Amino acid sequence: MNLYTIGFTGKSAQQFFELLMRNKVKRLIDTRLNNKSQLAGFAKKDDLKYFLSEISGIEYIYMPEFAPTEDILKGFKNKLMSWEEYSKKYLALLENRKVLNTSDSKLLEDACFLCSEHLPKHCHRSLLANYLANHLGNINIIHLT
């Protein structure tokens, strides 16, 4: 099964939607803590849901249980913790939230995790995808950049 990840920062709307359509993504799973920011442009929650449906027929799902907490995110963004510390705290959060119980493999099939970070290297979406792949197995992770 393919599981994709994407960040919207650094992409035009055209690039973003073409990447999703070219890879035949069926649903976009929003993993952001704040999905209503004015800085998100075309990727604000309600606008994005509309665009996904109208432009590409892709389903939009918001799963805040996949988002880091504000404390964890701010700690990393403000350089108060390393990537390693951030990773440990975020993975512990996933365990505490029991996300494996809410992660149906049918939901994940040809789905794409969305975050704002341009690249997946230091983004929770890559940690999340790897966590699910390690626990559920048979998942091919593809980062759309």
Please give the Cα distance from 70 to 31 (Å, whole number). Answer: 13
The pTM score is: 0.93
Q: How many domains does the chain have?
A: 1
Residue-range definition of the domain harbouring residue 56: 2-144
For residues 100-117, b (16+ Cβ closer than 10 Å) or e, as one string?
Answer: eeebeeeebeebbbbbbb
CA 84 distance to own-chain centroid: 19
In this structure, what CATH number is given to the domain that contains residue 112? 3.40.1010
Q: Is pLDDT above 80 for 40?
A: no
- The gap between the terminal CA atoms of the chain, to the nearest Å, is 19
Residue 39 predicted with pLDDT over 60? no
Q: How far is CA 23 from the centre of its chain?
A: 16
Distance CA 45, CA 75 (A): 24
The 8-class DSSP code of residue 121 comes to: T
Above pLDDT 90, what percent of the chain?
83
